[in-house]
Structure 1
């Protein structure tokens, strides 16, 4: 999937086309001087994309030890290209240049990656992207464990089942129009009726109840440009299907691209500053952190470019 994704992204490497598309986007958002802004940003947009692609392709050919650093810088560049579509003045202040997240000081004894946490800062790229690309505010001081974040990646479900006997996702079917179906069986996991679960998701996420059948409710996203990143539903790119976490506390409002940003930030910090622990993990393969992290990085290499392409196709 990854090679084909980069091929399709080549269409976004033309200043002639991108300038027109950015100008149209800025006009729709009522920016003054849409033409001038689009000229200023079309080269920056393409350079962000190319730089991100170079980091990802280099990661694919590099040892596991430095892949998190390359992937984190790669996702940061790709996200900045997306930002230019909706925020032509990025970066308008120096405060948005920081990463926007922090990882806690690591304890040397009995450190477990899955139990580690990451904290959202008030300013920086993360909050800026959440607000401008996904209209999510008030994430400051939120904490996320690596386990919770990894459970937002549907392709990781087999790793959780094999190593922890943790069946935390339930498959969600859809009709031929792409409406997602909630059933009584799914609702039982939440100790609700299917109608109550439908209302619960409608109230907290961007969905409408499209139709109701016996013991089944179909939901449709009410986003202007719906994508496969439909929180709280999780897209499994290998199976081309959706899953839902089967516990209320595991439902997240973070689009998956932001989940990847957080995971890769923490892994890149470990790779940079926790060298002893990192190499003991990679060379010793002594605990479950090893398969979790390596499997995740392989998924990230494929899935992040796919999400970026999908976002660009929806916006431009």
Structure 2
């Protein structure tokens, strides 16, 4: 499945075509000198895309011990390719060059990956991408646990259920291309169906419509881009949408940014916590082992898919 996404991304390796698409995109965004900017960025776009792909392909042939580093550098390059579609002057200042996130100092004893946290910095690539690609601001100083971030990824649901005996997602039904919100779903959030619709409208800008049934509302799936469908999670293997089943796990972060945070922390662990990392991978002594390895396999498939989905919506 993953190879097909890279094959489809091959179409974006042509600077001739990319420059035309970028010029059209920049004109639509009202940038002056759209032609000049598209010429300057055509090669940069292709190089970012190719470099990201090479990191991912190399990760697929490498041991798990170094995969997080390769995947983090890969997602960073792919995100930069997406970024210059919307922000042709990137990087306009040196403040956007840093990673934009930090992980806390780890304790040697009783460390558990799921309980670890990551903190968002005011400046850097993460906040810049959140603002430019997803119109999300004021994330600086926010902290997220690894467990909360993993609970944003629908494919992780089965792992949580196996180890914690608890579902963390609700699978959404569809009706004529629209997502169905039911009273049962609303009850998970201790809300009425009407209040849930208002909540989604206020916080996530989704519009709901009457379904013709008293206990259901419809959400227009056509307007949802899979790369930016928070708080819903697109399940790539099942081609459907899931929703976290508690208000505490509803985030505004698009899943592409969730992957950036998870891979940043895992890459830092693999680089600087070598003893813990090898004990985990060689000894498989804790639940962190299946959670991390399952996540890495999901990331290798979903990240190129989300990048392709973004480009198809914007170029």
Identify the TM-score tier after normalising by the shorter chain: over 0.9
**What per-residue deviation string (whole Å, max 9, x for no partner) do you get for residues 249-279 of structure 1?**
1001000000000000000000000000000
Aligned structure 1 segments of 4 or more residues deviating by more than 4 angstroms: none
Structure 2 unaligned segments of length 5 or more: list them: none
Q: Is the aligned partner of 1:68 residue 2:68? A: yes
Q: Which moved more, 1:143-152 or 1:196-205?
A: 196-205
Q: Is the aligned partner of 1:55 residue 2:55? A: yes
CA contact 1:127–1:137 (8 Å) conserved in 2: yes
Aligned counterparts of 1:56 and 1:74: Cα–Cα separation in 2: 6
Aligned counterparts of 1:76 and 1:109: Cα–Cα separation in 2: 31
Residue 144 of structure 2 corresponds to 144
**What per-residue deviation string (whole Å, max 9, x for no partner) do you get for residues 46-86 of structure 1?**
00000000000000000000000000000000000000011
Q: CA shift at 1:222, angstroms?
A: 9.0
- SS state of the match for residue 258, structure 2? helix
Residue 274 of structure 2 corresponds to 275
- SS state of the match for residue 106, structure 1? coil
- SS state of the match for residue 170, structure 1? strand
What are the equivalent positions in structure 2 for 1:259-274 lying under 5 Å apart?
A: 259-274=258-273
CA contact 1:174–1:180 (8 Å) conserved in 2: yes
* RMSD (Å), alpha carbons: 1.1
Q: Is the aligned partner of 1:104 residue 2:107? A: no
- SS state of the match for residue 66, structure 2? helix
- SS state of the match for residue 65, structure 1? coil
CA contact 1:211–1:219 (8 Å) conserved in 2: no
Aligned counterparts of 1:220 and 1:137: Cα–Cα separation in 2: 25
Residue 118 of structure 2 corresponds to 118
Aligned counterparts of 1:2 and 1:206: Cα–Cα separation in 2: 31
Residue 235 of structure 1 corresponds to 234
CA contact 1:56–1:74 (8 Å) conserved in 2: yes
Residue 188 of structure 1 corresponds to 187
- SS state of the match for residue 235, structure 1? strand
Q: Is the aligned partner of 1:203 residue 2:202? A: yes
Residue 216 of structure 1 corresponds to 216
CA contact 1:206–1:221 (8 Å) conserved in 2: no
Q: Is the aligned partner of 1:43 residue 2:43? A: yes
- SS state of the match for residue 217, structure 1? strand
TM-score, scaled to structure 1: 0.97
Aligned counterparts of 2:20 and 2:272: Cα–Cα separation in 1: 44
Aligned counterparts of 2:158 and 2:226: Cα–Cα separation in 1: 24
- SS state of the match for residue 64, structure 1? coil
CA contact 2:96–2:128 (8 Å) conserved in 1: yes
In structure 2, the CA distance between the partners of 1:228 and 1:183, relative to structure 1 (3 Å rule), is: farther
Q: CA shift at 1:226, angstroms?
A: 2.9
Aligned counterparts of 2:305 and 2:33: Cα–Cα separation in 1: 32
Residue 290 of structure 1 corresponds to 289
CA contact 1:234–1:242 (8 Å) conserved in 2: yes
Q: Is the aligned partner of 1:25 residue 2:17? A: no
Structure 1 unaligned segments of length 5 or more: list them: none
Q: CA shift at 1:221, angstroms?
A: 6.2
